[in-house]
Structure 1
Amino acid sequence: MIRSLLLASLLALSALPAAGAAEYVRVPGGAFRSVLAQEGGARAVEVPAFRMRATPVTNAEFLAFVRRAPRWRRDRVAALFASPGYLSRWAGASTLGAGAPPNQPATRVSWFAARAYCASEGARLPRWIEWEYAAAADATRRDARSDAAWQAQALARLTAAFGAAPAEVGGDAPNLYGLHDMRTLVWEWVDDYAALFVNSDARQPGEAALLGLCGGAALAFADRSDYALLMRVAALAALAPADGADNVGFRCVQDIEGVKHP
């Protein structure tokens, strides 16, 4: 009941005109085997086609959003929807400053705020299976996960960037679908992030979330060979929806008319 009221309030807060000219690219549907047991694990599931933002949302784009919707400014946002560190890289509530370059991914953004931003573009946060499916592609293959060198390169770049300010978006060559920075720039919010582990609920603070971060729910993984992806899931599952983090950004997806989604 409480969750339903929260989501209803969020939808009301995000009823805004569309943001404008973000680039979305089509990701064709297909069969996919997730690393997560609850997403099918060893068996392939069918992922319907969708459209995804080519790059993560940037500081400049999120600044334009909070100027249109001042209720999401850091000095006005309800405590229910954002923790004290929300947008704290910015110089001010409506100014970026040297610590938040315009083309850098918007980080320290809560799950609630990310959902509201996507709604302003007529979009939504991706489901985990959609994000994982899109991120499995390299420049020429729909699923490059069996390539150990590709996996190692993604892990090395992601860990090297941990704790530092993210690089600007678009630095990586696009993958097969035209998506940039899927595995190497920042971790990204997904809509169903709190269900990524079967043994912990990220919406409940405290011990359960810490167990998720420490790997206490690793049985949720059907395939543990993709360590970079395991790190990503563990980090997201440890967050509460009002939290933000230095290395967590987001991008949005749009449904394709006539394509049925679960």
Structure 2
Amino acid sequence: MYRFILSGMCLLMISAGFSQESEMAAIEGGAYIPLYGNDSLPVSVENFKIDKYPVTNRDYQKFLLENPKWKKSEVRALFADGRYLAHWQDDSHLKPDELEDAPVTNVSWFAARAYCKWRGKRLPSLDEWEYVAMADKVSADARKKDGYNEFILSWYERPKSFHQKVGSTYKNYWGVYDMHGMVWEWTSDFNSVIISGETRRDENQDNNLFCGSAAIGSSDLMNYAAFMRYAFRSSVKGNYSIRNLGFRCAQDSNEKENSANEAL
């Protein structure tokens, strides 16, 4: 896509396109039983679209150019803590050893939500993200397969997995990359589950989020990989900026993307 700018008597055409992170995969909705369900009842997920790749440093840089209030020197502490964009050397440039095509991290939930809104999208819900994340290369729900959870858990143990280009991990059943093996990801309702409670929507308890007893609320006590994700989400706040926490955007299936990469 291109953007046209009138400068004097000349019409200038400059590239306004995004990298591959703007590509979206269409997800066919259905029902699934989440790790924390209401008495393990299925949860319905409507048809939707999700980015094939996490948002990169390069794409986030474009967002900052058009939305200066989200630059690290300008952002309000209410919306991002002191670690916001800590891997950037200034408002516009990454540190020398950082990759432009790596997933952007050190970004708060508020900033991630603002980016998606700017792109004419939104953050995926927790259920949407988990629904897509169930898939391996060949099946929509691989959670019961031998080795699936072990693979995910092995990633959780690897240091600096964020320091790689998006698309470096496998493409799953839906055509989506990097759901596992790269970074944790924000969801729109990341804090809707307190894992120490008895149901997935219990927000009235604030116990030790990583204690073993919290797994009692799980619909699958062997699914420790998903348990770790829910525990992580329960432990963060909206203004937190974390080195291995990034995001991707989603969209309702009937919505058309209205983003900065469309011609003016």
Q: TM-score range by the shorter chain?
A: 0.7 to 0.9
Q: Quote the sequence identity (%).
A: 35
Report how far residue 55 of structure 1 moved. 0.7
Match of 1:246 in 2: 243
Give a deviation string over 1:29-75, Cα, whole Å, max 9, x none.
112111112xx452222211100000111111111111110000000
Q: How does 1:1-16 map to 2 (within 5 A)?
A: none
Q: How does 1:31-180 map to 2 (within 5 A)?
A: 31-37=31-37, 40=38, 42-161=40-159, 165-180=162-177
Give a deviation string over 1:157-197, Cα, whole Å, max 9, x none.
23213x56432210112101110010211110111111121
Partner-residue secondary structure (3-state), 1:211: coil
Partner-residue secondary structure (3-state), 2:240: coil
Q: How many residue pairs were aligned?
A: 231
Distance of aligned partners of 1:158 and 1:147 in 2 relative to their CA distance in 1, 3 Å threshold: same
Report how far residue 257 of structure 1 moved. 1.7
Report how far residue 217 of structure 1 moved. 4.2
Distance of aligned partners of 1:64 and 1:78 in 2 relative to their CA distance in 1, 3 Å threshold: same
- Whether the aligned pair in 2 keeps the contact of 1:118 and 1:125 (CA below 8 Å) is yes
Distance of aligned partners of 1:190 and 1:67 in 2 relative to their CA distance in 1, 3 Å threshold: same
**Unaligned residue ranges in structure 1 (runs of 5+):** 1-17, 201-206
Report how far residue 81 of structure 1 moved. 0.3
Report how far residue 223 of structure 1 moved. 1.9
Partner-residue secondary structure (3-state), 1:132: helix
Report how far residue 133 of structure 1 moved. 0.3
What CA distance in whole angstroms lies between the structure 2 residues aligned with 1:232 and 1:99?
Answer: 28
- Whether the aligned pair in 2 keeps the contact of 1:34 and 1:41 (CA below 8 Å) is no
**Unaligned residue ranges in structure 2 (runs of 5+):** 1-15, 198-204, 256-264
- Greater shift, 143-152 or 219-228, is seen at 219-228
Give a deviation string over 1:187-214, Cα, whole Å, max 9, x none.
10111111121658xxxxxx93x72244
- Whether the aligned pair in 2 keeps the contact of 1:41 and 1:221 (CA below 8 Å) is no
Distance of aligned partners of 1:196 and 1:166 in 2 relative to their CA distance in 1, 3 Å threshold: farther
What CA distance in whole angstroms lies between the structure 2 residues aligned with 1:214 and 1:74?
Answer: 35
Partner-residue secondary structure (3-state), 1:114: helix
- Whether the aligned pair in 2 keeps the contact of 1:49 and 1:256 (CA below 8 Å) is yes
Match of 1:27 in 2: 27
- Whether the aligned pair in 1 keeps the contact of 2:105 and 2:245 (CA below 8 Å) is yes
Match of 1:5 in 2: none
- Whether the aligned pair in 2 keeps the contact of 1:131 and 1:190 (CA below 8 Å) is yes
What CA distance in whole angstroms lies between the structure 1 residues aligned with 2:26 and 2:161?
Answer: 31
Give a deviation string over 1:209-253, Cα, whole Å, max 9, x none.
x72244564444222322122112211211111001111111110
What RMSD over aligned residues (CA atoms) do the two structures have, in Å? Answer: 2.2
What CA distance in whole angstroms lies between the structure 1 residues aligned with 2:100 and 2:213?
Answer: 38
1:191 counterpart (188, 193, 200)? 188
What CA distance in whole angstroms lies between the structure 1 residues aligned with 2:148 and 2:110?
Answer: 33
What CA distance in whole angstroms lies between the structure 2 residues aligned with 1:84 and 1:137?
Answer: 35
Structure 1 length-normalised TM: 0.81
User: Given residue 247 of structure 2, which amino acid in structure 1 is its aligned partner?
Assistant: F
Distance of aligned partners of 1:165 and 1:54 in 2 relative to their CA distance in 1, 3 Å threshold: closer
